[in-house]
């Protein structure tokens, strides 16, 4: 593995570990606080929100494992690396979210369909305060995780960021439900739990779809391929580009190209041109992990 790739992967791992540590600590503290507030303030919506935050701790552990496996060097059994393990982690994360949301939704629906709300106690002020704190903290965590996910281009970390955003939205639902229940509409508390369920399920589906897209090989967008094409053609010895194929592998890109050079050039010179094209692409596109350059002669010898 080349030195710059090793440096990039080490930085990737360090950043992911730092963000994950902050996430685990924040979610653990927040889930305990919300559970305490939900129990003592008699709010089913806040207890549901606490469960959601607690699931974030487990989710982040999954993200750490996925990123650790994705950062492993290529080996004999996996010559193209392990980048897709990040996508596997994101899929597991989506499944955890889905199951968590489903459990919250079922409990909320049972409370609503029961029809007798006389025994539903209005939540206390502590639950309202906990909802406001949760919204603020989870929104900060979303932007923090999203910033570093984009910086190191991590799909698993980005999935965790959107998990934070879904938690913030669910806390908004909890806030509305708790406020409504305190104003004399006790049904609003379980309704808020149902709203939380909708947000969690949507986040799970979005994360799952993004991970599946990255698991299936597909080419880069047209703009990226145009930039690669222009980079190749900047070399004065390249007369044309016969083939340009790209495929996304996890969060990395693989490129196969066929360049056209003067057919009278000796093999060593054609090889030097191919090396120069390879190095130019690698230096200008850090997401590209592997480049295969094939040389075609401009004219066959007589």
**Tens-place pLDDT, residues 154-202:** 777 787 788 788 778 778 877 887 888 778 777 777 777 787 788 778 8
Same domain, 152 and 191: yes
Same domain, 123 and 253: no
Same domain, 104 and 21: yes
Q: Is residue 302 part of a domain?
A: no
Same domain, 103 and 70: yes
Q: For 224-253, what is the mean pLDDT? A: 87
Residue 3: pLDDT over 70: no
Same domain, 202 and 233: no
Same domain, 55 and 158: yes
What is the domain-level CATH number for residue 259? 3.30.70.1350
Q: Is residue 40 part of a domain?
A: yes
Give the integer Cα–Cα distance in Å for 224 and 12. Answer: 22
**Tens-place pLDDT, residues 71-85:** 666 666 665 666 667
Same domain, 119 and 268: no
Report the pLDDT value the prediction gives residue 230, as an integer from 0 to 100.
Answer: 92
Residue 229: pLDDT over 50: yes
DSSP 265: S
| DSSP reduced 3-state for 249 | strand
Q: Is residue 279 part of a domain?
A: yes
Q: Is residue 63 part of a domain?
A: yes
Number of domains into which the chain is organized? 2
List of long-range contacts for 243-246, beta carbons under 8 Å, 24+ apart: 243/294, 245/219, 246/219, 246/220
DSSP string for residues in 59-98: HHHHHHHHHHHHTSPP-SS-TT-STHHHHHHHHHHHHHHH
Same domain, 148 and 203: yes
What is the domain-level CATH number for residue 45? 1.20.1510.10
Helices and strands in the chain: count of H runs, count of E runs: 8, 3
Last residue of a domain, one of 199, 215, 231: 215
| DSSP reduced 3-state for 185 | coil
Last residue of a domain, one of 167, 199, 215: 215
Q: Is residue 75 part of a domain?
A: yes
Last residue of a domain, one of 200, 215, 230: 215
Cβ proximity of 104 and 48 under 8 Å: yes
Q: Is residue 65 part of a domain?
A: yes
Q: Is residue 111 part of a domain?
A: yes
DSSP string for residues in 146-172: HHHHHHHT-HHHHHHHHHHHHHHHHHH
Q: Whole-number mean pLDDT of the chain?
A: 79
Q: For 41-67, what is the mean pLDDT? A: 75
Report the pLDDT value the prediction gives residue 299, as an integer from 0 to 100.
Answer: 67
Q: Is residue 184 part of a domain?
A: yes
Place of tokens 């993004």: 210
Domain hosting 285: range is 222-297
Same domain, 183 and 47: yes
Same domain, 120 and 261: no
Give the integer Cα–Cα distance in Å for 215 and 122. Answer: 47
Same domain, 26 and 163: yes
| DSSP reduced 3-state for 58 | helix
Same domain, 79 and 50: yes
């Amino acid at each position: 593995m080349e030195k710059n790739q090793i440096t990039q992967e080490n930085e990737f791992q360090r950043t992911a570990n730092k963000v994950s540590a902050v996430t685990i600590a924040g979610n653990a503290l927040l889930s305990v606080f919300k559970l305490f507030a939900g129990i003592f303030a008699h709010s089913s919506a806040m207890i549901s929100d606490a469960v959601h935050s607690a699931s974030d701790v487990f989710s982040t552990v999954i993200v750490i494992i996925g990123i650790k496996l994705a950062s492993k060097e290529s080996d004999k059994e996996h010559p193209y690396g392990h980048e897709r393990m990040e996508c596997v982690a994101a899929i597991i994360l989506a499944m955890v979210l889905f199951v968590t949301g489903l459990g919250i939704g079922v409990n909320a629906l049972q409370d609503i369909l029961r029809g007798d709300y006389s025994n539903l106690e209005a939540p206390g002020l502590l639950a309202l305060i906990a909802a406001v704190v949760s919204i603020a903290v989870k929104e900060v965590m979303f932007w923090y995780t999203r910033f570093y996910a984009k910086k190191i281009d991590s799909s698993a970390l980005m999935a965790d960021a959107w998990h934070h955003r879904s938690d913030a939205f669910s806390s908004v639902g909890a806030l509305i439900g708790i406020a409504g229940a305190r104003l004399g509409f006790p049904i609003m508390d379980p309704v808020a739990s149902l709203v939380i369920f909708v947000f969690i399920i949507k986040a799970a589906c979005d994360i799952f779809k993004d991970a599946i897209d990255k698991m299936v090989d597909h080419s880069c967008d047209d703009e990226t391929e145009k930039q690669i094409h222009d980079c190749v053609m900047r070399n004065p010895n390249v007369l044309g580009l016969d083939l340009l194929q790209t495929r996304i592998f996890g969060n990395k890109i693989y490129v196969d190209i066929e360049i056209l050079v003067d057919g009278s050039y000796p093999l060593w010179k054609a090889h030097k041109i191919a090396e120069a094209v390879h190095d130019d692409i690698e230096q200008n596109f850090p997401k590209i992990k592997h480049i295969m350059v094939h040389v075609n002669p401009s004219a066959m010898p007589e």
